[in-house]
A and B are shown apart, each in its own frame.
Chain A
């Protein structure tokens, strides 16, 4: 091995080394868990609303996993929420530890249940646009998902 190629390898090792802690902190790279994402959408909120809800189906093909967090440059903050009716009272809970994705199951974020709470849009949302939301999982690799903004409020336009 020539001295120069040795130097290149050394330089390569040195360049690689800063990356190492990141890889070490993400053991997901070595695990088989895979989450496939389908039907991602955001309900178009009323114009003056400062919050929107995002929905998606997460199918976990193998190995237990969790949706740990979500983030988007289009919003000040994205939280994972559980909503349920307790009698006539709507109760909502931010899932700080994320949402379990059992193996072989599809976990559905949908109206009336789990949702992504999208806080303070940086720009008003409009029908037909998409917003990028990054989903961070405990084991699977993170995914940037395009959520379509849909009119989930009014089926046939506001009458009157």
Chain B
């Protein structure tokens, strides 16, 4: 009896694990369904960022070049925008939630701007959000030495939470600022 009970519990746990690991959130629904832990201690979805326009990036803190340079670009964009940036929020979704905890994201991002928001989900949720925005990423290597290939664009979400624009890695901060000026209120 005990053995059956134990087997049952294990099966349930496995099923629960599967359901959790392959959450059936598809397409745009992921943006409102996937819960993320933020670097300022909240639990929120991408849709919850609405109310203010948001520049969104997908990266990881063990990234030697593209992520820090993209974050520096965001700092410069904000400086160039001046008062027009007052309402703009910048969010960084980690594609490496195993290593990038919300607290670590806060420490990392504060080197750029203390208002930058870090967001960490689980593996499946992060994947679902990324796919809904056309972001691709892939882990290369394992453990401490793992690195990620990833889309390196900035995504502009409007105050209504909808995707408005995408700014590629090759775009200069000046070019992005010109585009943003047309988008921001």
In chain A, what residue has the closest Cβ to B70? A90
Determine which residue in A43, A53, A89, A159 has the highest number of CB atoms from chain B within 10 A of its CB, and name it: A89
Contact partner of B64 among A76, A93, A115, A154, CB < 8 A? Answer: A115
> A residues within 8 A CB of B150?
89-90
> B residues within 8 A CB of A91?
149
Q: Provided the pairs A48-B107, A85-B170 are in contact, do residues A90 and B64 lie with their beta carbons within 8 angstroms?
A: no
Total count of chain B residues near the partner, CB < 8 A:
36
Please state if A89 and B151 are interface contacts (CB–CB under 8 Å). Answer: yes
Please state if A43 and B65 are interface contacts (CB–CB under 8 Å). Answer: yes
Total count of chain A residues near the partner, CB < 8 A:
35
Q: Would you give the 0/1 interface string for A66-110, flagging 1 where the beta carbon is closer than 8 Å to chain B?
A: 000000000011010101010011111110000000000000000
CA distance A92 to B100 in the complex (A): 19
Interface of B is mostly: mixed
Please state if B66 and A90 are interface contacts (CB–CB under 8 Å). Answer: yes
> A residues within 8 A CB of B64?
43, 45, 51-53, 81, 115, 117-118
Please state if A158 and B107 are interface contacts (CB–CB under 8 Å). Answer: no
Q: Provided the pairs A53-B64, A88-B151, A88-B152 are in contact, do residues A154 and B75 lie with their beta carbons within 8 angstroms?
A: yes
Judge if A46 is at the interface, Cβ distance under 8 Å: yes
Instruction: Give the distance to chain A from B79, nearest Cβ to Cβ, in Å.
Output: 5
CA distance A31 to B160 in the complex (A): 66
The A131-160 residues at the B interface (CB cut-off 8 A) are 153-154, 158-160
Q: Provided the pairs A48-B104, A85-B170 are in contact, do residues A77 and B145 lie with their beta carbons within 8 angstroms?
A: yes
Known A90-B150, A115-B65; further 14 A-B contacts with Cβ < 8 A: A46-B111, A47-B108, A48-B107, A51-B64, A85-B152, A88-B153, A88-B166, A90-B151, A90-B169, A92-B140, A92-B147, A93-B140, A112-B65, A160-B75
